[in-house]
């Protein structure tokens, strides 16, 4: 199974999916028709010519309907294999995994996917799980069941047009921080995210799918593409809007296949976040990463157990998140970092060293000049991740910013550079606005010599204007629809 | 210490209590008595080497900075409206809707050279309580360079408590047109001289943004913001001031006083000009400086549309109404224009209200202009407004109810 190259699409069809749909209040007869139609091999024409190379079908849920379902899928599976498509069977509920594996093998499936931890010798099983790293078996594959639909919440109470976060800006969901964390802690070769479109009373806009794909791929993961029921009905009816949305999905998937080199780029990080990211520290450390990403901070994940060996070069600040202090060696390394010119942000109780700053405006911290750097010791435990993320960034200071994005409106960014430092990419994720988008400007501290902007609907990059803006350089982009990648090079 | 101008103005304002809150027509006799001081106008093409000598000359025309600031703490309200990551197209904020950083540096340098004991640069960063230097860095400015332009320079975000322990109350002499008092950051109290350093530009709601409208930004959104709790300030502001001021759909958080007349029009064209006058009466401006070298026309910020322009002019004066009247004329508008006429298309003329409140004269016939005559400095902003905002519907003030 070459998971690395697979592009998976959830392919809901067959009796099990119909039974599952019936348990949903909003399930319609037309949806049932689509589920029956997608059981027919002719439906596979939809994926012809697209990057989709793997179908994920329901396989067993431990009910009496499993056998009938698997029988009903036989023609489809044969046709799919004939087209070179890999088939993954999803096993859920109380299904016996060994039995499911046996039937899957007989039916020619390439692998099973499940949230079960039961062992299945001799057959590939893609293990999905809830978020958390309490147990970290080395694995080539990690599947995330807690992933969220990226962007602004589409399912809102009547009368609301956005959910606001603590900053007053619309709240944005993203899985980027978790993908980065998973890569840092578990190092999976392949990371799949399982999330479904939000249930709303109309088809999702095409742009929402572009966002979902970009938010996953840019950070080095893959979305098990999942179409909303309205879109599936629209595709069966060959409606123009649905076909356009599907074409956009295909273009987005193809775009990231063409730019796979970016996946090897290293996220730019200037604020180190030290935690064990587990147990009692999980909530705060997870949310701090989430919110640092949300506010555009460039962070580097430093797992506590590995931080002693990890280089701190390139960091302007380190925030130690966990309540319990680390081992002595790491404590000494952190103080040395501050003494050498960095900013160290700690919970309360850490030794206060250096000369107190009189003009410390952050009331939650005692701030000290220490050597060539600074030490900020919290007066009390900070349990609000928003405050911790915001104030860690301010203690580090925007003076040290390495990238600034102007006129992005509500958006997220991910900046990564090649291993040799000669190239970089700024992924820009923008979210819907009722207003005309203005042209964007991106400032980099690194004086990149040139840049070009990539958008998913074009195979050609567009050059962008460059102006010197000491100490750095600015690039002026045209209005960006939803996503773009600004590729820079020296 | 005693404010150099504040004392007599306060006395005057106290005497005009009886007329505040009346119709505009009844204020006319007081308007005739409103102060008229010299306003300096100068052409200045760039923020380069000519900036400091030009400003220096202008301040000399006003009687010299030394007599105003020597040995005193000077608070300078900057005009950095809107979030720091918004630009007018590719145009940096300082070349459009924000006072240019070199302009700030030049003013700080001259204040310092004139003997100011301390210069405190102030602004209420939009929907934010981050320190002002961080706000500047986010815009791509070098805050350290600005602070380094003088010997004792401080920055403070006045959207919140900042370094203060309280929000001092500033009573509006005479009771106020919209609110009887305003609670502001301590920096507006803890100073001897108050400078409004602003931009020459249009304003969608108020007609023009000049030194008086700039002072609207002194009002903290921790108390007057849209989402504040009713019973206390929220030191993490998340919004602008629309609900309290523009729309009048809520009252400020306690302990701020509620508005004078809750039955007054809820139209922002009625309300905003009155807040402007209130705040300038409650916290008088001692020196108004208008940066019109590079700017934008059509709106006060990129969110309102508009386009960049290069008027190449500076205006300064010791009376904010006089200064703004001259600056309005430099923009090609008539400071005597009635509500509904350019540039006050959608609002009352705040200069007229200010004059009525005795803050100063808007009558160009009474104001001495030093330096470049208005006709030579004039840069016409009307085309920006007309092209960006074709007016539809009933004109102001008929539509204000």
Max intra-chain CA distance, chain B: 54
Of B322, B360, B330, the closest CA to residue B200 belongs to: B330
CA A178 vs. chain centroid, Å, equals 6
C-alpha to C-alpha distance for A332 and A326, rounded to whole angstroms = 10
- Tell whether the model's pLDDT for residue B401 goes beyond 70: no
Residues of chain A with pLDDT under 50: 155-167
Answer for the pair A36, A236: CB distance below 8 angstroms, yes or no.
no
Q: How far is CA A275 from CA A130, A134, A239, A323, A330, in A?
A: 19, 13, 50, 9, 12
Contacts of B57 (CB under 8 A, 6+ apart): B40, B42, B371
Query: How many CB atoms are located within 10 Å of the residue B342 CB?
Result: 15
Provide the 3-class DSSP secondary structure of residue B42: strand
For residue A398, give the nearest of B137, B162, B302 by CB distance: B137
Confirm or reject contact between B365 and chain A (CB < 8 A). Answer: no
**CB < 8 Å to B140, chain A:** 404, 443, 469
Placement of tokens 């640092």 in the chain:
A292
User: Which pLDDT belongs to residue A155?
Assistant: 47
Q: What is the pLDDT of residue A137?
A: 65
Query: Taking the model in full, what pTM does it have?
Result: 0.92
CB of A1 closer than 8 Å to CB of A81: no
DSSP A42-95: GGGGGGTTSS--EEEEEEE-SSTTHHHHHHHHHHHHHHHHHTT-EEEEEE-TT-
Q: Higher-confidence residue: B66 or B21?
A: B66
pLDDT at residue B15, rounded to an integer = 30
**A380 vs B398, more confident:** A380
Chain-centroid distance, C-alpha B228 = 24
Specify the pairing of strand B39-43 against strand B369-371.
Answer: parallel
**CA count, 13 A, side-chain hemisphere, B33:** 10
Residues in Cβ contact with B375 at an 8 Å cutoff, skipping those fewer than 6 apart: none
* Beta-bridge partner residues of A346: A377
Q: How close A344 comes to chain B (CA, Å)?
A: 18
For all residues of chain B together, what is the average pLDDT?
Answer: 90
Each residue's pLDDT tens digit, A307-334: 999 999 999 999 999 999 999 999 999 9
How far apart are alpha carbons B151 and B111 in whole angstroms? 10
Contacts with A264 (C-beta within 8 Å, 6 or more apart), sequence order: A418, A419
Nearest to B73 by CA among B147, B9, B4: B4
What are B279-306's pLDDT values in tens digits?
Answer: 999 999 999 999 999 999 999 999 888 8
Task: Please tell me the distance from the alpha carbon of residue A108 to that of residue A377, in angstroms, as a whole number.
Answer: 59
CB A274 within 8 A of CB A321: yes
Q: Are strands A411-417 and A423-430 parallel, antiparallel or unpaired?
A: antiparallel
Compute the nearest-CA separation of B378 from chain A (Å).
Answer: 30
pLDDT of residue A152: 75
For residue A394, give the nearest of B127, B130, B238 by CB distance: B130
CA-nearest residue to B86 within chain A is A407
* ipTM of the complex in this document: 0.92
Per residue in B353-384, pLDDT (tens digit) is: 999 999 999 999 999 999 999 999 999 999 98
CA B289 → CA A466, B2, B79, B303, distances in Å?
34, 22, 11, 24
Mutate to test the interface with A, among B95, B98, B133, B140 (most CBs of A within 10 A): B140
- HSE value, Cβ hemisphere, 13 Å, CA-based, for A339: 9
The residue-averaged pLDDT of B158-175 equals: 95
What is the three-class DSSP state of B196? strand
Cβ–Cβ of A474/B90 closer than 8 Å?
Answer: yes
Mean residue pLDDT across chain A: 93
Helix (H) or strand (E) holding A292: helix A282-294
DSSP, residue by residue, B301-319? SGGG--EEE---EEEEESS
């Amino acid at each position: 199974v070459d998971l690395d190259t697979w592009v998976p699409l959830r392919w809901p069809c067959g009796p099990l999916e119909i039974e599952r749909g019936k348990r949903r209040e909003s399930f319609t007869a037309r949806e049932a028709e689509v589920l029956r139609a997608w059981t027919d091999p002719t439906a596979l024409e939809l994926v012809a010519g697209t990057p989709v190379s793997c179908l994920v079908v329901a396989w067993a849920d431990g009910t009496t309907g499993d056998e009938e379902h698997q029988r009903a899928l036989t023609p489809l599976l044969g046709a799919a294999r004939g087209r070179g498509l890999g088939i993954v069977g999803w096993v859920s509920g109380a299904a016996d995994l060994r039995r499911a594996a046996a039937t899957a093998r007989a039916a020619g499936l390439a692998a099973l996917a499940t949230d079960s931890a039961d062992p299945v010798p001799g057959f590939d099983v893609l293990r999905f799980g809830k978020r958390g790293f309490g147990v970290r078996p080395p694995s080539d594959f990690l599947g995330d069941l807690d992933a969220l639909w990226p962007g602004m919440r589409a399912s809102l109470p009547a009368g609301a047009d956005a959910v606001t976060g603590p900053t007053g800006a619309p709240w944005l969901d993203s899985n980027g921080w978790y993908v980065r964390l998973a890569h840092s802690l578990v190092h999976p070769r392949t990371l799949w995210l399982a999330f479904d479109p939000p249930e709303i009373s109309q088809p999702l806009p095409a742009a929402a799918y572009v966002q979902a794909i970009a938010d996953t791929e840019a950070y080095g993961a893959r979305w098990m593409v999942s179409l909303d029921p309205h879109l599936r009905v629209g595709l069966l009816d060959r409606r123009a809007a649905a076909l356009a949305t599907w074409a956009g999905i295909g273009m987005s998937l193809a775009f990231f296949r063409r730019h796979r080199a970016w996946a090897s780029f290293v996220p730019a990080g200037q604020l180190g976040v030290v935690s064990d990211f587990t147990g009692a520290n999980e909530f705060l450390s997870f949310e701090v990463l989430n919110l640092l990403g949300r506010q555009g901070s460039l962070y580097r994940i430093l797992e506590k157990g590995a931080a002693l060996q990890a280089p701190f070069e390139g960091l302007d600040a380190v925030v130690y998140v966990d309540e319990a202090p680390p081992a002595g060696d790491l404590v000494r390394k952190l103080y040395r970092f501050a003494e050498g010119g960095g900013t160290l942000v700690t919970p309360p109780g850490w030794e206060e060293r250096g000369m107190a700053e009189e003009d410390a405006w952050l009331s939650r911290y005692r701030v000290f000049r220490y050597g060539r750097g600074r030490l900020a010791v919290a007066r009390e435990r900070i349990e609000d991740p928003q405050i911790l993320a915001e104030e860690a960034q301010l203690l580090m200071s925007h003076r040290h910013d390495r990238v600034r994005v102007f006129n992005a409106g509500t958006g997220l960014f991910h900046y990564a550079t090649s291993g040799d430092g000669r190239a970089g990419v700024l992924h820009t994720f923008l979210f819907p606005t009722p207003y005309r988008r203005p042209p964007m400007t991106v400032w980099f501290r690194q004086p990149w010599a040139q840049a070009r902007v990539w958008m998913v609907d074009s195979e050609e990059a567009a050059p962008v204007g460059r102006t010197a803006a000491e100490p750095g350089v600015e690039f002026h982009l045209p209005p960006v629809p939803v996503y773009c990648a600004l590729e820079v090079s020296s | 210490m005693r404010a150099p101008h504040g004392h007599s103005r306060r006395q005057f304002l106290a005497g005009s209590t009886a007329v505040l809150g009346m119709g505009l027509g009844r204020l006319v006799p007081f308007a005739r008595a409103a102060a008229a001081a010299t306003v300096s106008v100068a052409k200045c093409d760039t923020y380069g080497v000519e900036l400091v000598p030009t400003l220096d000359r202008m301040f000399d025309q006003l009687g010299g900075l030394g007599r105003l600031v020597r040995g005193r703490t000077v608070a300078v309200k900057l005009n950095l409206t809107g979030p720091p990551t918004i630009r007018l197209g590719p145009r940096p904020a300082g070349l459009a809707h924000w006072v240019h950083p070199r302009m700030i540096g030049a003013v700080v340098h001259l204040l310092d050279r004139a003997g100011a004991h301390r210069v405190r640069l102030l602004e209420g960063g939009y929907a934010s309580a981050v320190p002002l230097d961080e706000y500047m860095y986010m815009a791509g400015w070098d805050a350290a360079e600005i602070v380094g332009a003088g010997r004792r320079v401080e920055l403070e975000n006045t959207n919140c408590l900042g370094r203060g322990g309280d929000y001092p109350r500033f009573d509006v002499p005479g009771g106020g047109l919209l609110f009887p008092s305003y609670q502001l950051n301590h920096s507006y109290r803890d100073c001897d001289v108050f400078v409004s350093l602003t931009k020459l530009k249009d304003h969608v709601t108020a007609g023009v943004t000049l030194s008086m409208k700039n002072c609207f930004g002194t009002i903290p959104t921790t108390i007057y913001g849209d989402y504040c709790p009713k019973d206390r300030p929220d030191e993490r502001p998340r919004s602008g001031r629309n609900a309290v001021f523009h729309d009048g759909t809520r009252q400020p958080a306690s302990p701020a006083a509620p508005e004078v007349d809750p039955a007054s029009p809820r139209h922002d064209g009625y309300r905003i000009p009155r807040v402007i006058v209130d705040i300038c009466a409650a916290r008088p401006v001692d020196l108004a400086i208008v940066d019109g070298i590079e700017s934008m026309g059509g709106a006060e910020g990129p969110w309102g549309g508009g386009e960049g322009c290069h008027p190449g002019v500076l205006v300064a004066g010791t009376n904010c109404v006089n200064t703004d009247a001259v600056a309005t004329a430099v923009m090609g508008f008539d400071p005597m224009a009635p509500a509904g006429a350019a540039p006050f298309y959608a609002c009352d003329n705040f200069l007229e209200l200010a004059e009525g409140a005795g803050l100063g004269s808007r009558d160009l016939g009474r104001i001495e202009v030093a330096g470049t005559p208005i006709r030579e400095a004039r840069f016409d902003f009307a085309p920006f407004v007309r092209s960006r905002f074709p007016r539809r519907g009933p004109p102001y003030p008929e539509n204000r109810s």
